[in-house]
Homo-oligomer: A and B are copies of this chain.
Amino acid sequence: MTAMEGNRPVRVAVAGLGYWGPNLVRNLHEVPTAEPVVVCDLRQDALDAITRRYPAVRGTTSYDEVLADDGVDAVVIATPVSKHHPMAAAALRAGKHVFVEKPLAASSEEAADLIELAGDAGLILMPGHTFLYSPPVMRIKEMIDSGELGEIYFVSTSRVNLGLHQSDVSVAWDLGPHDFSILRYWLGETPSHASALSRGCIMPGTPDVAFINLEFPSGTVAHVELSWLAPSKLRRTTIVGSRKMVVYDDTSSEPVRVFDSGAVLPNPETFGEYKLTYRTGDIVSPHMEAAEPLFRELEDYCAAIQGGSVPRSSSELGLEVVRMIEAVDSSLDANGARMEVAIAERDLV
């Protein structure tokens, strides 16, 4: 992989100024290792709004012009999913590093193609799984890795709200990348099987609620509930380990709560004769430092470009997330049948 020489800031172009793009521009201005130089969108008024606020940033409606610009080291793509592959592929072919909003691409074929292109060119390809940079998610990762939680028995998570339907994708493609990337990061493994039940309540054909079951090779099982239709916002994830249990609620002032509780397995010889006992201990809400995940994520992108490191939100992880969504879609197409999550070819070699 080609690392940039020296400590020069990475000169970044942002393509796509819809809902999320302006946040990316704002954070890029705060990351010391980044220098936002150009923004690109088809709508002139979206460009004007940004360039008025940031006079040092140039606006253009031509993506080709961005790719031809030698003053651009890297692009950040925040367009609808269907545009991810063509725009990222063109950028990689033009020798630019690529950050693309989640999900990485609209299919695993497309995602694998981008990975191959980036590998061949020695360029960074990074999907924007921002939650991997949020302090609660990182803290729980540490607790899992250190063994503090013990064996992870199961994870149950709900991400529901009365929110905007996306007209072009299902709730699994819209909200699923959040939970799937977090699970992949925490557990360090991709599920072997998935099954799902969904319904298009408002628009038949566009699932707006989904109940997804996942099985992991290690034995961990997980349930993911996703919905655009719910009486109140709920972001609740329960992780049950053999030593401790954790509740993670992104909307709470105490986002992580650690329960020192569990079942105590009786002596195997007497097993079945005596009842299990339960241990209930203290509950701790660890203090979380305030840090904007998006800032951290873009910092990681620039560090990867400058140092040739693999970002936490890696392209491989992004591909696994797409495979998980595809397995959910396959299950839904097969009336909820349990489906294998596709295995990467290179894993089979």
Residues of A within 8 A of B (CB): 53, 153-154, 156, 158, 160, 162-165, 167, 193, 195, 197-199, 201-203, 209, 211, 213, 215, 219, 221, 223, 225, 227-233, 238, 240, 242, 245-247, 253-254, 257, 259-263, 265, 271-272, 275-276, 278, 280-287, 335-338
C-alpha spacing A215/B272, complex, angstroms = 35
| A285 x B287 contact (CB < 8 A) | no
| B201 x A240 contact (CB < 8 A) | yes
Known: A230-B240, A231-B238, A232-B259. A195 touches B193 (CB 8 A): no
C-alpha spacing A160/B163, complex, angstroms = 27
| B276 x A165 contact (CB < 8 A) | yes
Taking CB atoms, residues of chain B closer than 8 Å to A219 are: 199
Q: Pull 26 A–B residue pairs with CB atoms less than 8 Å apart, ordered by A.
A: A153-B199, A153-B209, A154-B229, A156-B158, A156-B227, A160-B238, A162-B261, A164-B278, A165-B263, A193-B336, A195-B197, A195-B338, A197-B213, A199-B219, A201-B263, A211-B221, A227-B240, A229-B240, A230-B245, A231-B257, A231-B259, A282-B285, A283-B285, A283-B287, A284-B285, A337-B338
Taking CB atoms, residues of chain B closer than 8 Å to A247 are: 231-232
| A165 x B223 contact (CB < 8 A) | no
**Nearest CB on B from A295, distance (A):** 20
Taking CB atoms, residues of chain B closer than 8 Å to A221 are: 197-199, 209, 211
Taking CB atoms, residues of chain B closer than 8 Å to A156 are: 158, 211, 225, 227
**Nearest CB on B from A327, distance (A):** 13
C-alpha spacing A254/B252, complex, angstroms = 15
Which of B167, B240, B282 meets A209, CB within 8 Å? B240
| B287 x A284 contact (CB < 8 A) | no
| A162 x B223 contact (CB < 8 A) | no
Q: Which residue of B lies closest to A275 (CB)?
A: B164
C-alpha spacing A104/B156, complex, angstroms = 30
| A202 x B265 contact (CB < 8 A) | yes
Q: Which residue of B lies closest to A199 (CB)?
A: B221
